[in-house]
Each structure stands twice: as C-alpha cells, then as structure tokens.
C-alpha cells in the first residue's frame, strides 16, 4: 500500500497484504478523503471561519516534517495555500480487543480490557490540556493494524499513542517505545510506502517518546528515563509522531495495582504531549497533509 | 411385539443411554488427551529432528556466547559463555547456537524463548540474510508484550552476531510462513539487523607459482 502525496495528502491505496476489513478501509478511504478534500477546498476558498474553529492566516510554504525529519530539502509538492498547523489531535490506540485479549495474567487480567480503562483516563487528561482526542476503538472491537494506522493517517497535526499492558517487566513501571530505525523512503513519484509510513517521523517520535518517558520516570520508580526502541508493528504504518506505552504488568496479583497506575500514566502522557507540542509544526493547509 | 418384550427393549435402551451419558465425558477427555499427546509428540519429534543436526561431538569445543535474560533486570540480556563443538559451516553453526539458545539456561527465569519452541530450519542467503523458521510455539507460548517479544528477538540476533559472523540480518518465519507479529506486538514482516560490521572477506588464495 502506498500513501500517495497528492497535494501533500496521504492517500492509502492498493495493499495486497491487508485483510478484508482493512481492504474495505483501503477502498473506502480515498472516497472519504476526496470528500473531505472537496469540503476543505471549499472551506479554504471561503473567507469565513470554518465550522471547526478559526483557521490560521496564510503563511509561506514550510518544509514538511518528512523533510525536516530526513534533514533534506525534499519538501512536499508545492501547494498554493500551505500554512503551519500545530499539534491539536491525539489519536489514542487501546491495543488488541475483540477475541484478541493481548497479554493475560494468571488472575484473569486481560490487556485488552485494562487498556480501555486507561484510555478513558488518558483521554480525559488530554482533553483537559486542550487536545482533541480520537480513538482507534471505542468498544471491544479489534481493528486491524492498518485500520488503526488509517485513523491516525487521516488526521492533520496529530500524534499517535498506542496503549499496552505487558506481561513482563517490574510491576509498577512504564516503558515508552518508538520504532526502530526505519529508512525514510519515497519512490520516484514522491509517494511514501504505507509499509514505511513511520520512517519520516521517526526523529519526532523519539522526541515525543522522550518527553513522555521522562514524565513516566518521575511518577513510576524503576521506569527508564529515555524512550526505548522496538520494532512495534502498530507504529510502522503510522504517518505521524507515534509511540507505544507499555505498563507492567498483567502479572500483578491484584488488578487494583494496575488501576492505581492509570491516573499517573494519563497525567504523564498528557504532560509529555503538551511538552512536545511546540516542537511539532507541520506543513499544512486546508485539505493538505504533510 | 408383546408388552413384556417392549418394556424389556425400552429398559435396555434406557440402560444404554445412561451408560453412554456416563462414558461420553470420559471418552471426550481421552480424545483430548490423545490429541494433546500427538501434538506434543509431533513437537518433540520436530525438536529431535532439528536438534539432531549438531557438529562433530568429538571436534574441538569452541567458546560460544549465548544471550539470555539477565537475572537482575529481566529486560536486559547478558552473555553466557559455554563451550560447544561448533561446526564450520555457518548454517549448521547457526542451527547449533539457536538450538542451544532454545534449550534454555538452567534457571528458567532467564529464558527469553519459550521451552516448547523449536527451530525448524535455518537458511543463509548469499547476501548474508539468515532465515530462521521456528515452530508456532515461539509465537503462542511467549509472554505477550513489546518488551518480552523484543527481548526474544534480541537474544536471537545477538547470539547469531556473536557466533555466526556470516549472518548480517535475520528474517524470522513461523512454520514456513511470514507473519505480521511475533505475539501481537513485534513486527516480523521485515528483517532484523544482526551485524553492522563490514562483511569478512575470505582470505585470498596464494597465487600459483609455475
């Protein structure tokens, strides 16, 4: 699958490896995106305020985060109405769901259930900081990896936070992961391969991860001070600064031990994302994605 | 049919139904047990088959570094040196070290890979890509989580790096198939870097002097 940079807009198409649900999403996403593009184009040409708030005034074209991260001058295709857009959306991804329980403890603790409860608190903390929050799942469904990434890839000025409860690690600690080295690739037509969508955002993901991990270390003794590297599948196809937060662990004897961590985890994520916000200015305009 | 025969037949049928009701759960348990036994035997046979490929047991023993979890911090790896009669052939050597890694340390808490997992095959491509094909147990029996899955892969790659320099990167298959993740988190669709050192070139043969 490729993320097509049409006027800077990431358009997913043709993924042979995705399953039925994902294929559906792949087929429908371009139509949804086209509709959104048309609407946004109309909104851009209109002098009045948009329905979602005040639009920033036009600014000179800025280098895309793709180019910023890669340290090259290879910017997105020029757009007449490019303007800087700040971070305003956080995509929360409660991992697993449905028949996939994720990690399971001997006391019957299921990762898929605990992360949903963490998500509620993280969402509340983020909203209190003024962020708009989008979730990849609201109930006990299990979207595919690509479907979850598609939610993030459809946002503008978003970061992606995937929530996990591990089955190892010192109970009461939290680790934040960014993806391992992933070369930023574009093909001759300027398309970013869907399979490598995280590549251009890797340095931003590390920065976000360091902010959040630093906050975790203040609250949970024994947690690392800096972001960890791992080949997390969910992050690879996400075209935004993306981290995975893993809380230890489902092996606790009492579920309350985990529940007590939720407010601290939520606060740490919200403060970490807020601290990261000034460093994330993406090239964008109405209907234009980095 | 006389009433006497009819009641006898009904009584007989009732006894048969009762007998079946009592016997069926036992039968079901036996079937389950047999199925499990067959599965275990197959797994065991696979392991024996793959572990049978060892180097010359009488050959010189080489110091071999294996990476298992460290006792103090389960999230880190520590090198343990053992002496093994390693083969010169890189594929055989890779099989030997990975099978020893899978066999695990004496202390089960230091394990990074599930005890019932087996290495089914190992291939080495000319570009230095090693392909390790593991049994399903590596994905189903490993504790699910980013940390545990990353630790498992790190223990494999670092053990290969220390003992089989010909392997530059590693691709992991499960039962001959490419899978999305190890156990729901770690990405197995790509390759893992094993060694970033420049490839060792074979020593040049001395020129023939006529």
Please check whether residues B34 and B79 belong to one and the same domain: no
CB A37 within 8 A of CB A224: no
Torsion of CA A122, A124, A129, A132, to 10 degrees: 90
For chain A, percent of residues with pLDDT exceeding 70: 67
Residues from chain B that touch A145, judged by Cβ atoms under 8 A, are: 180
Q: Give me the count of residues in chain B.
A: 210
Please check whether residues B106 and B147 belong to one and the same domain: yes
Please check whether residues B112 and B42 belong to one and the same domain: no
* Residue B167 neighbours by CB under 8 Å, 6+ apart: B90, B94, B124, B128, B129, B130, B160, B161, B194, B195
The angle, 0 to 180 degrees and rounded to 10, between the axes of the packed helices A262-276 and A111-128 is 50
Residue to test with chain B: of A1, A168, A224, most B Cβ within 10 A: A168
**Does residue A191 or residue A14 have the better pLDDT?**
A191
What is the mean pLDDT of the segment spanning A73-98? 70
Residues from chain A that touch B180, judged by Cβ atoms under 8 A, are: 145, 233
- Has residue B199 been placed in a domain? no
Strands B129-134 and B119-124: antiparallel
Residues from chain A that touch B143, judged by Cβ atoms under 8 A, are: 103, 166-168
Please check whether residues B123 and B159 belong to one and the same domain: yes
Interface of A with B (CB under 8 A): 95-96, 100, 102-104, 111, 145, 164-170, 175, 177, 195, 230-234, 236, 244, 246, 248-249
Interface of B with A (CB under 8 A): 74-75, 143-151, 153, 180-181, 184-190, 192
Please check whether residues B38 and B67 belong to one and the same domain: no
Listed residue (A32, A20, A22, A231) closest to A146, CA to CA = A22
Please check whether residues B131 and B38 belong to one and the same domain: no
Contact: B145, A246; criterion CB under 8 Å = yes
Please check whether residues B44 and B146 belong to one and the same domain: no
Contact: A233, B192; criterion CB under 8 Å = no
Rounded Cα distance between A36 and A34, Å, is 5
Contact: A167, B145; criterion CB under 8 Å = yes
Residues from chain A that touch B185, judged by Cβ atoms under 8 A, are: 164, 230, 232-234, 244
Residue to test with chain B: of A93, A233, A237, A244, most B Cβ within 10 A: A233
Give the gap in angstroms from C-alpha B178 to the nearest C-alpha of chain A: 11
Please check whether residues B68 and B120 belong to one and the same domain: yes
- The residue range of the domain holding B42 is 11-52
Listed residue (A24, A14, A184, A164) closest to A92, CA to CA = A164
Averaged pLDDT, groups of 10, chain B, 210 residues long: 86 91 88 74 56 62 92 79 93 96 87 94 96 97 94 96 96 97 95 81 48
What is the mean pLDDT of the segment spanning A198-203? 93
pLDDT digits (tens, 9 = 90+) for A24-66: 343 344 444 444 444 444 433 333 332 322 233 333 333 344 4
**Does residue A151 or residue A282 have the better pLDDT?**
A151
Q: Give me the count of residues in chain A.
A: 290
Cβ atoms within 10 Å of B26's Cβ, excluding its own: 9
Question: pTM for the whole thing?
Answer: 0.72
What is the mean pLDDT of the segment spanning A237-243? 96
How many domains are there within chain B? 2
The angle, 0 to 180 degrees and rounded to 10, between the axes of the packed helices A262-276 and A202-219 is 140
Contact: A169, B181; criterion CB under 8 Å = no
Long-range CB pairs of B77-84 (<8 Å, 24+ gap) are: B77/B112, B77/B151, B77/B154, B77/B155, B77/B158, B79/B158, B79/B162, B80/B105, B84/B55
Cβ atoms within 10 Å of B20's Cβ, excluding its own: 10
Contact: A231, B151; criterion CB under 8 Å = no
Rounded Cα distance between A94 and B164, Å, is 40
Residue A269 pLDDT greater than 80, yes or no: yes
| Domain locations along chain A | 2-84, 86-279
Rounded Cα distance between A180 and A269, Å, is 21
- Mean pLDDT value across chain A: 76
Which DSSP category does A106 fall into? T
- Has residue B2 been placed in a domain? no
Please check whether residues B37 and B67 belong to one and the same domain: no
pLDDT value of position B101: 95
Please check whether residues B81 and B163 belong to one and the same domain: yes
CATH node for A86-279: 3.40.630.40
What is the mean pLDDT of the segment spanning A119-135? 97
């Amino acid at each position: 699958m490729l993320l097509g940079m049409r006027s800077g807009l990431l358009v997913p198409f043709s993924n042979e490896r995705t399953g039925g649900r994902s294929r559906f999403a792949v087929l429908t996403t371009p139509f949804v995106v086209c509709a959104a593009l048309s609407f946004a184009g109309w909104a851009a040409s209109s002098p009045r305020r948009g329905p979602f708030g005040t639009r920033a005034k036009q600014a000179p074209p800025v280098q895309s985060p793709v180019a910023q991260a890669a340290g090259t001058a290879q910017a997105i295709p020029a757009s007449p109405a490019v303007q800087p857009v700040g971070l305003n959306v956080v995509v929360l991804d409660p991992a697993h769901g449905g028949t996939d329980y994720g990690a399971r403890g001997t006391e019957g603790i299921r990762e898929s259930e605990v992360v949903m409860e963490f998500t509620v608190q993280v969402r509340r903390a983020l909203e209190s900081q003024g962020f708009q929050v989008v979730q990849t799942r609201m109930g006990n469904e299990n979207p595919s990896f690509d479907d979850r990434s598609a939610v993030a890839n459809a946002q503008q000025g978003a970061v992606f936070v995937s929530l996990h409860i591990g089955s190892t690690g010192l109970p009461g600690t939290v680790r934040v992961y960014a993806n391992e080295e992933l070369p930023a690739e574009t093909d001759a037509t300027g398309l970013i391969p869907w399979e490598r969508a995280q590549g251009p955002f890797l340095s931003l993901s590390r920065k976000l991860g360091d902010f959040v991990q630093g906050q975790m270390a203040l609250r949970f003794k024994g947690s690392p001070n800096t972001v960890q590297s791992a080949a997390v599948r969910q992050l690879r196809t996400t075209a935004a600064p993306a981290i995975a937060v893993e809380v230890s662990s489902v092996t606790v004897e009492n579920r309350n031990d985990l529940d007590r961590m939720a407010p601290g985890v939520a606060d740490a994520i919200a403060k970490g994302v807020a601290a990261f916000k000034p460093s994330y200015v993406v090239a964008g305009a109405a209907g234009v994605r980095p | 049919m006389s009433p006497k025969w009819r009641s006898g037949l009904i009584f007989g049928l009732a006894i048969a139904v009762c007998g079946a009701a009592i016997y069926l759960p036992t039968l079901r348990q036996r079937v389950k047990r047999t199925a499990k036994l067959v599965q275990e035997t197959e797994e065991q046979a696979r392991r024996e088959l793959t572990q049978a490929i060892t180097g010359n047991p009488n050959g010189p023993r080489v110091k071999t570094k294996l990476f298992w979890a460290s006792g103090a911090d389960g999230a880190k790896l520590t090198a343990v040196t053992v002496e093994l009669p390693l083969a010169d052939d890189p594929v055989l050597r890779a099989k030997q070290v990975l099978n020893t890694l899978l066999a695990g340390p004496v202390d089960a808490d230091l394990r990074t890979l599930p005890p019932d997992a087996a290495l089914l095959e190992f291939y080495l491509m000319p570009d230095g890509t090693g392909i390790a094909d593991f049994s399903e147990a590596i994905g189903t029996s490993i504790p699910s989580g980013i940390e545990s899955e990353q630790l498992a892969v790190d223990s494999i790659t670092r053990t290969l790096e220390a003992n089989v320099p010909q392997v530059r990167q590693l691709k992991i298959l499960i039962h001959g198939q490419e899978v999305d993740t190890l156990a729901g988190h770690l990405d197995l669709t790509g390759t893992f870097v094993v060694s970033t050192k420049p490839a060792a070139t074979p020593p040049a043969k001395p020129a023939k002097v006529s």
